[in-house]
Amino acid sequence: MRVAVDPATHEPVGEPEYIADVKSVDDLCVDEDAGVAYLTRHPNHIVERVPLEPAASRLGRAIMAGDPFTDGLIGPTSIDWGRGPNDYGHVAYVTTDGGTVEIPPDGILRPARLVRMEFPVEKGAPR
């Protein structure tokens, strides 16, 4: 779900809008230019892309990391864009818990990490 927010008061404006059915989301970051959100799906050990306007999006829903299982992305908890001049919509940083909440499929607990992820810049997307 999403809801518009008044930029001056930060109060919700209008009713929440349905975006997608997604279970076990821990955090997200939004790429307004591409019209998508990147979700950390903590117990599933994946990062997923979901269109903000499913009917009008040129980018569909997709698992961006973690399927197949990725040793370096266990328990993704938080995600945010990098601070470099060209990072928005392309470079994100994800913190992980190493499997303390949901043990990975191989049963091995790992140290928490900060993972740098690069998402493809789609043709025609403004940057």
pLDDT string in tens for the chain (127-residue length): 888 899 999 999 989 988 788 888 999 999 999 999 999 998 899 999 999 887 767 788 899 999 998 888 999 999 999 999 999 999 999 999 999 888 888 899 999 999 999 998 765 454 4
Neighbours of 118 (CB within 10 A): 11
Q: Enumerate domains of the chain plus CATH numbers.
A: 22-118 (2.40.10.500)
3-state DSSP call for residue 30? Answer: strand
Pinpoint the alpha helices (H) of 37-123: none
Q: Which residue type, as a one-letter code, is found at position 34?
A: A
